[in-house]
Structure 1
Amino acid sequence: MTTGRAVILGASSGLGAHVARRLAEEGWSVTGTGRRPRTDTDLPDEVRYLRSDLTDDEHLRELGAHLRKVDPDLVVHSVVTYGGDMATPRSVEDLGAMFRTNAIAPFVLIRDYLAGLPAARACSCVIVNSDSIYHANDTSAEYAATKAALRVLTAGLASACRGRRSSVSTLALGPLADPRKLAELTAIAERRRIPAEEVARIFLARLNPSLVITELIDLEACLRSVLHVVSLGPTANGMVIKLDGGSSGSLV
């Protein structure tokens, strides 16, 4: 397997942590970023960790400088914030912070990094997005809007990469089988004394009433998708990989 230098934005937990850990196991030199202290993550020693808050201007400048220093072959944006309780209306300030974290800051980071690369230098950039942009409702619309903004900005980044060796692609995901979510579903199943699979089915049906999503998405499948993008090189520019738990119920 081809290896190199990777920077995973949002590696303190969930999918980002899984990708960072597995890339390190495969021999990649990995830097992960996140808002949590390193002691609050379970990343292995092989993963270098930078504590960084994308809503902080100084942190953003430092992270941009680090990208240029590392000169990664792979950048994965997996940072996400839901802005607190999705059922509670957010203030203008809270909405601004959510848009900045989920869309604006990663766009600026990747845009500026790619702009400084020679046309012959290859770098694969994978932007993790959400299928929430296809079926927003009264509680998810604000979060989904940040992801829709990210999708449009990603298209702009891909357009800027035409004729170059770098690529910008999208990994559009449905509900993930991250450890925290699995633990919550297992706890509910134990309290109600029903199979965990039944709890997951009910959860998915309520979360995505307009789609037929049958299973949570395995984190390893996401990693394989990222590595597939890397293997394609510049051919992957503009590509959208949609993993939605077996639904295929909406257009890209």
Structure 2
Amino acid sequence: MTGKRAFVTGVSKGLGAHLASCLAKDGWQVTGVGRRPRESAEVSAAVDYLQADLSSAEVIGGLVAKMDAVPDLVVHNAVTYPDRAAGRPELDTIETTMRVNALAPYELTLDLLAAKPDDQFCSVVVINSESVYHADADSAVYAASKAALRVLTGGLAAACRSTNAAVSTLMLGPLGDANKVEEIRRIAEKRGATPAEITRLFLRRSNPDLVIDDFIDFDACYLSLRYLAELGAVANGMLCRLDGGSAGTLV
């Protein structure tokens, strides 16, 4: 699949930067979108970087026009969270969360598929979160945006039937991002325990349904992404859970 074009959102840091960088390393021509300026982004220099704020309807509507061609793979990874320290989120914060996490992927996918030549296959992989199954007082707005994304993704998959495109979902559990790993390390050092012990304790307390003892690493996410992309049209509507069972046994 090398030599093909990929478009990835949310690439300035974290999982998005990792996915885009891995695709570029594997020979893909990658265009990535991030909120940070290029000089502060953590993504590989091999990625063609576009700085853009996906909370803006005007920005979303103009992204496809900036591309030389419709990509063969689209990865929707961009995400935003309300600031928990700020207390009850204001309405504009809720709207921004919904726009970035749910409406932007939906609108961008529709625009890209409308611009796609009929003979070109396009795989769209939407990154979602197991938080849709576990909303609480602090995470309700974020979880609601991800639940909306799940419903909209189902609609996109239905619209893609017989159109030489596939829209699938990669549902992720607790990720081992740098900040989380560092926090675990500090707690372990303070308590005189190992990071592995603190990680197991955290995961078991935070989600009783979880049946793994470690965070999900970025490489596992990339392998799952490649798997979905390589399935072709049969992946349309597919949900791939990489969540350690955190959604519960009957989901």
Q: Deviation string for 1:151-180 (max 9, x for gaps)? A: 000001101100121100000000111222
Instruction: State the match for 2:55 in structure 1.
Output: 55
Partner of 1:184 in structure 2?
Answer: 183
Instruction: Indicate how the Cα distance of structure 1 residues 104 and 86 shifts in structure 2: closer, same or farther if over 3 A, else same.
Output: farther
Query: Which residue number in structure 2 is paired with residue 199 of structure 1?
Result: 198
Q: Distance in 1 between matches of 2:197 and 2:87?
A: 28
Worse overlay, 145-154 or 224-233: 224-233
Q: 1:248 to 1:53 in 2, by over 3 A?
A: closer
Is contact 1:86-1:139 (8 Å) kept? no
Q: Which residue of 2 aligns with 1:80?
A: 79
Secondary structure, counterpart of 1:94 in structure 2: helix
Whether the 8 Å CA contact 1:164–1:234 is kept in 2: the answer is no
CA shift, 1:248, in A, is: 6.2
Amino acid at match of 1:47: V
| Cα root mean square deviation, aligned | 1.8
Q: What amino acid does structure 2 have at the position aligned with 1:183?
A: E
Q: Which deviates the most, 237-246 or 86-95?
A: 86-95
Displacement after TM superposition at 1:103 (Å): 0.3
> 1:29 aligned to 2:10?
no
State the partner residue of 1:175: 174
Unaligned runs of 5+ in 1: none
Note if contact 1:128-1:171 (Cα within 8 Å) is conserved in structure 2: yes
- The number of equivalent residue pairs is 251
Question: AA paired with 1:71?
Answer: V
Percent of paired sites with the same residue: 49
Q: Which residues of 2 match residues 87-98 of structure 1 at below 5 A?
A: 88-98=87-97
CA–CA distance in structure 1, aligned partners of residues 231 and 161 of structure 2: 15
In structure 2, do the counterparts of structure 1 residues 101 and 86 end up closer, same or farther at CA, with 3 Å as the change threshold? farther
Are the counterparts in 2 of residues 212 and 249 from structure 1 also a CA contact under 8 Å? no
Partner SS, residue 70 of structure 1 = coil
Q: 2:128 aligns to what SS in structure 1?
A: strand
Give the alignment's TM-score, normalised by structure 1.
Answer: 0.93
Q: What TM-score does the superposition give when structure 2 sets the normalisation length? A: 0.93
CA contact (8 A) 1:214 1:247 kept: no
Q: Structure 2: give runs of 5+ residues left out of the alignment.
A: none
